[in-house]
Amino acid sequence: MENIWTAEKMPNQQGTRVVITGASSGIGYETARAFASKDAEVVFAIRNLEKGEEIARQLKKEYPNASLKMMKLDLSDLSSVRRFAQEYKQSYDSLKLLINNAGVMTPPFQKTKDGFELQFGSNHLGHFALTGLMLPMMSHVPSSRVVTLSSTAIRGAKINFDNLDGSNGYNRVKFYGQSKLANSLFAQELNVRLRASGSNTISLGSHPGRANTNLFSLGSEKTGPLMKIVKALLAPQSAEMGALPTLYAATYPVLKGGEYIGPDGKGGNKGYPKVDTSVLKLYDPQITKQLWDVSESLTGISYLS
């Protein structure tokens, strides 16, 4: 079918540098692998550098000329986010693509080093801070993009501003949905502010549907037998397929910014990438502004008024 878009249809990315958070496994890895296959310079923004180096060796066997760089980033620690941005600036003066991919899903109640609930702190606040620090190196780059991953878990989710830290009760599934809704609202609001500022950069959102990745185990010691069964039942497509909406959002030429890309199958659970307009009904300007203001206050990162 002519409307089916795959990674093979990505334009060549020679001369493009892309930063991908959580690029050493799952959808992040498949995203990095696709960019490596198209001659991009790929920066792995990851927690475990040793694991990253092993991944790099594997990719080099597949793509000997691939340009891969490992840089440490822990999104649950704002000092690590700031350190990553500073180290990046010492090595480079520009960035074309930032893919906010990393995430934790439904862990037991935990807090980040800065005292935030782990899912909201890592999935949203960490990426909010990172994007704010990286944007100055993107705004002058033509066709630069920020892609932030969300999830089908945003259906029915809401932002509980009175209990962002979980101190008044914690439900791991609801807090995951909250963090991914925050990702989606952030992607949309960022694009609005980028347009208003006249920046060359655009912002887009994406979601992978239900993909078979190790996301379920992050934030806990290991994936238990029950979660492995749940994972198999709820994840009908591969991580490689799950990466397609992100790759489409990052590289499809005619996108203007503000789009939300997801699988084209029933319920958006699997399939090939398409623009998903259903998410637009979730955008409440008042809630989005409140989320932005709270995020600036909690992270200490202010940008694009």
Structure tokens at 123: 């999935």
Looking at residue 89, its pLDDT comes to 98
pLDDT tier for residue 281 given thresholds of 50, 70 and 90: confident
What residue type is assigned to position 205 of the chain? G
- Mean predicted confidence (pLDDT) in 87-94: 97
**Residue 260 falls in the annotated catalytic set:** no
Q: Sorting pLDDT into bands at 50, 70 and 90, what band is 221?
A: very low
Tell me the average pLDDT across 4-17: 97
% of the chain beyond a pLDDT of 90: 86
Query: Selecting from 3.40.109.10, 3.40.50.720, 3.30.56.10, 2.130.10.10, what CATH number does the domain 10-299 have?
Result: 3.40.50.720
Coil/strand/helix, residue 174: helix
Residue 218: pLDDT band (50, 70, 90) is: very low
Q: Report which residue type is found at 216.
A: F
Q: 34 by DSSP, 3-state: which?
A: helix
Res. 158: pLDDT tops 80? yes
Buried-state track 282-294, b at ≥16 Cβ within 10 A, e below 16: beeeeebeebbeb
pLDDT at 279: 83
Q: How far is Cα 81 from Cα 300, in angstroms, rounded to an integer?
A: 12
Q: In the numeric block, which tokens belong to residue 129? A: 């801070």
- pLDDT band with cut points at 50, 70 and 90 for residue 223: very low
**Least confident range of 67-71, 131-135, 235-239:** 235-239
Which residue in 63, 92, 170, 272 is the catalytic one?
A: 170
CA dihedral 119, 125, 130, 133 (to 10 degrees): -170
Mean pLDDT, the chain, whole residue set: 92
Helices (H) and strands (E) in the chain, counts: 10, 10
